[in-house]
Structure 1
Amino acid sequence: MVKIALITPAGRGSRAGNRATATRWARLLRELGCRVRVVGSDEDADACRLDGRPPDLVVALHALRSHAAIRACREAFANTPLAVALTGTDIYRFQHSHPEAFLESLTSADALVGLHDEVKADIPPCFHARLHVVHQSALPLPPGAPGPIKGHYEVLVAGHLREEKDSLRAALAVRELPAASRLRVIQLGGVHDETWAENARDEMARNPRYRWLGDLPHWQVRRWMARARLMVISSRMEGGANVVSEACVAGLPVLASDIAGNRGLLGEDYAGYFAVADTQALREGLLRAEAEPAFVEGLRRQVQARAPLFHPDAERAGLARVIAACGLTL
């Protein structure tokens, strides 16, 4: 049995993406026959021990935010292989703002995990041989989930409100639409700080087409996905958002910002991209979706074609490849 310490910077009870990934990976690794301990990146290396012994493998989510834990484990467990999973902020922000820590984490790793197909182009070539792409998986919507309501054309935005997500772009895009438009934006997610909460409340006060419902449990998010006609993913940077996987598996068409993290999941030929932070382009896409059912059905066929990439079996097999790359046998 392979014993794995899985390090995440997101604390217990958090609904942040890093915690969701850690929880899902722990389950999939246990299904592979591994024993897994989930450890916070603020805990010391001794927390990674299982039965008082070093783990057989350390898997760390986030090269920068888990940097101190990665260094501590390398010092405490010199012979234990290490895999580091790269997030969007790692690749597209911290690689440039904190290059020494970022590169130290990557250099320490025996294997690197990327979450979308274009990661290789955005990290130094010397690390390409260590990189393994593992797409995040999602489950189908439950049978009997409610479908779209009549009257409104509801568009869903799901994810924490923060700068990297350009979270209010969809709200801005539905301001001052023609009176005949049925477009409404439903936003789900907690906030990075109180300023984001204030901005969301201010937007609701001035924009009758926008509602922010806050940080909801995942089962409620899935019900909103079943009810929505379209999803908007407006991020400025992404490492491979699980919400894209969920949309594809649910057959929910997406309008997505044209960034590497979205192209690496939806494909280069996806027809639903818009330029980053381009409110007018997104507005035009939303109005086209409302007016042209054939456009939306085309997007639906494209996301459904991508869905097999995000099956739990595929993610489990990807994790098994990472374990093998670290010289371990299941």
Structure 2
Amino acid sequence: MKQRLDIALITPAAPGSRAGNRTTASRWAALLRPLGYRVTIHVPEDVPTDRAPDLVLALHAWRSHDAIRAWKQVYPDCPLILVLTGTDVYRFQFSEPEKVYASMDLADALIGLHDCLEEDLPERYGPKLHVVHQSAEPLPPQRVQPKRRNVDILVAGHLREEKDSLRAAIAVRDLPLDSRLRVIQLGGAHSEEWAEAAREEMHRNPRYRWLGDQPRWRVRQWMGRARAMVISSRMEGGANVVSEACVAGLPIVASDIAGNRGLLGEDYAGYYPVGSSAALRECLLRIERDEVWWRRLREQVTARAPLFRPEVERRALVDIIERFVCA
């Protein structure tokens, strides 16, 4: 095998984007380059280079379908590994099956980002599937904070339908007057309609603040302050923010979907039925008032943290890459 492998990494998210696909691509490039891999990041519109890479690593079966087909046509003998996203598996697999399955068929291997993914794919793809858990760095040491007026619940992610983004805000409407719960939402709006919905919610709901798109350091700063995080998604391919929270020891209240169970485990105590404002409301009040339950959630996320170490993610990636480059 060559000492220096060339990897073409395709992501549908443009440079400078804070979308999950771009974050994953940038993190993987940073994990692989110190090992001697030459990683070049491409968007789907890029024309294949005039030099064959040793491997193509593509994120998103539907959005990158045309690119996957083009790279395979130009370099049919080059191994191609496809990373499946939540919208691939839980939306486009059903709304755009021809493109999604064609991408999966062209791939030599599939990567999923959580442990329950196989149950949601056709059985024929099981032998191709490998799991890589996205990693996170520990938070820097936090200065002792004075007792705060509010009990902050953090929601981090772009505002869009798949995330059920305003569910936590709805859940804290009309709480008892003695509750100190407040929802802090970080993330850009997927559309002007979502932005307007968030602004309207702030106007009517004094317990909700939407701070818009924020740099990663700012999100991590809020993670160090918050009492808990809500992951309210209707569909999820293995959110990196779950890894971040686990490594930070930040308790999570999560919708009971495969993408969350595949990271937090089937026995995690902090699930609520997806889309249920009433159930989420009860969980958040319990976060505020039940110290024993809050500590139990913190212990459970902390126990999951070793799965999300950068060295574990790097090793999993390298094992898959070298298996197919060496084949």
Task: Give, in whole Å, the separation in 1 of the partners of 2:73 and 2:27.
Answer: 28
Task: Give, in whole Å, the separation in 1 of the partners of 2:143 and 2:304.
Answer: 22
**TM-score, scaled relative to structure 2:** 0.97
Do structure 1's residue 249 and structure 2's residue 247 form an aligned pair? yes
Do structure 1's residue 15 and structure 2's residue 18 form an aligned pair? yes
SS at match of 1:102: helix
Please say if residues 184 and 209 of structure 2, whose CA atoms lie closer than 8 Å, have aligned partners that are also in contact. yes
SS at match of 1:252: coil
Report deviation, 1:145: 5.4
Task: Give, in whole Å, the separation in 2 of the partners of 1:148 and 1:232.
Answer: 23
Q: 1:43 aligns with which of 42, 46, 57?
A: 46
Do structure 1's residue 270 and structure 2's residue 268 form an aligned pair? yes
Q: Which amino acid aligns with 1:198?
A: E
1:110-129 to 2 correspondences below 5 Å: 110-129=108-127
Task: Give, in whole Å, the separation in 1 of the partners of 2:223 and 2:119.
Answer: 32
Task: Give, in whole Å, the separation in 2 of the partners of 1:139 and 1:149.
Answer: 26
The residue that corresponds to 2:167 in the other structure is 169
**TM-score, scaled relative to structure 1:** 0.96
Task: Give, in whole Å, the separation in 1 of the partners of 2:152 and 2:200.
Answer: 20
Q: 2:303 aligns with which of 291, 302, 305?
A: 305
The residue that corresponds to 1:28 in the other structure is 31
Please say if residues 153 and 182 of structure 1, whose CA atoms lie closer than 8 Å, have aligned partners that are also in contact. yes
Q: Which amino acid aligns with 1:94?
A: F
Please say if residues 12 and 44 of structure 2, whose CA atoms lie closer than 8 Å, have aligned partners that are also in contact. yes
SS at match of 1:324: helix
Task: Give, in whole Å, the separation in 2 of the partners of 1:146 and 1:59.
Answer: 43
Please say if residues 135 and 240 of structure 2, whose CA atoms lie closer than 8 Å, have aligned partners that are also in contact. yes
Please say if residues 148 and 226 of structure 1, whose CA atoms lie closer than 8 Å, have aligned partners that are also in contact. no
Please say if residues 32 and 316 of structure 1, whose CA atoms lie closer than 8 Å, have aligned partners that are also in contact. no
Q: Which amino acid aligns with 1:90?
A: D
How many pairs align? 324
Task: Give, in whole Å, the separation in 2 of the partners of 1:155 and 1:31.
Answer: 37
Report deviation, 1:324: 2.5
Task: Give, in whole Å, the separation in 2 of the partners of 1:42 and 1:223.
Answer: 35
Q: Which runs of 5+ in 1 are unaligned?
A: 47-51
Task: Give, in whole Å, the separation in 1 of the partners of 2:106 and 2:146.
Answer: 48
Q: Deviations over 1:51-81 (max 9, x none)?
A: x411000000000000000000000111100
Please say if residues 54 and 325 of structure 2, whose CA atoms lie closer than 8 Å, have aligned partners that are also in contact. no
Q: Which runs of 5+ in 2 are unaligned?
A: none
Report deviation, 1:322: 1.4
Q: Which amino acid aligns with 1:20?
A: T
Do structure 1's residue 179 and structure 2's residue 182 form an aligned pair? no
Fraction of identical pairs, as percent:
63
Q: Deviations over 1:163-207 (max 9, x none)?
A: 000000000000000000000000000011000000000000000
